[in-house]
């Protein structure tokens, strides 16, 4: 492998792109589904692609916080990239007493249910590219 080829491979790997996701279905019984429009996982040089696991090629963030890959599934649907957050992996109730929506029952147990909402900031960053 010559230096030019190595430079091209490194350029591919070191050019992460960031996409904002928009809600697709927030009422699905198993997932909260979001999508990046006109986005797909980048096709890498064959010498690199076999050495990079698909789930380690991008990161997902909600309000700037990293979401582990065990907490979502992903799929390419047409020209869109879907992230399906697994409901059972997220807390059922808000337990942060500083949250303005937090409420408790008469026994001090949290009663405010937690969920993804339309205005949430959900982003994906990594080996992704625009599809036109």
Pick from 33, 19, 26, 94: nearest CA to 61: 19
Residue 70 lies in a domain: yes
Say what the pTM is. 0.76
Residue 7 lies in a domain: no
Residue 72 lies in a domain: yes
pLDDT (tens, 9 = 90+) of the chain, 132 residues, equals: 677 776 766 666 556 689 999 999 999 999 999 999 999 888 766 666 666 666 678 999 998 899 999 999 999 999 999 999 999 898 777 666 677 777 888 887 777 777 888 999 999 998 888 887
In b/e form, how buried is each residue of 30-63, taking b as 16+ CB within 10 angstroms? ebbbbbbeebbbbebeeeeeeeeeeeebbebebe
Residue 66 lies in a domain: yes
What contacts 111, CB < 8 A, 6 or more positions away? Answer: 93, 103, 104, 105
Total domain count, the chain: 1
């Amino acid at each position: 492998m010559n230096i030019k080829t190595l430079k091209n491979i490194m350029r591919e790997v070191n050019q992460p792109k960031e996409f904002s996701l928009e809600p697709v279905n927030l009422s699905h019984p198993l997932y909260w589904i979001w999508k990046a429009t006109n986005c797909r996982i980048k096709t890498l040089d064959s010498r690199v692609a076999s050495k990079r696991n698909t789930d380690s090629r991008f990161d997902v963030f909600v309000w700037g916080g990293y979401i582990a890959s065990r907490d979502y599934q992903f799929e390419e649907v047409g020209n869109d990239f879907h992230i399906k957050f697994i409901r059972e992996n997220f807390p059922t109730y808000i337990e942060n007493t500083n949250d303005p929506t937090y409420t408790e029952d008469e026994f001090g147990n949290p009663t405010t249910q937690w969920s993804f909402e339309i205005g949430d900031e959900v982003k994906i960053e990594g080996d992704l590219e625009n599809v036109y």
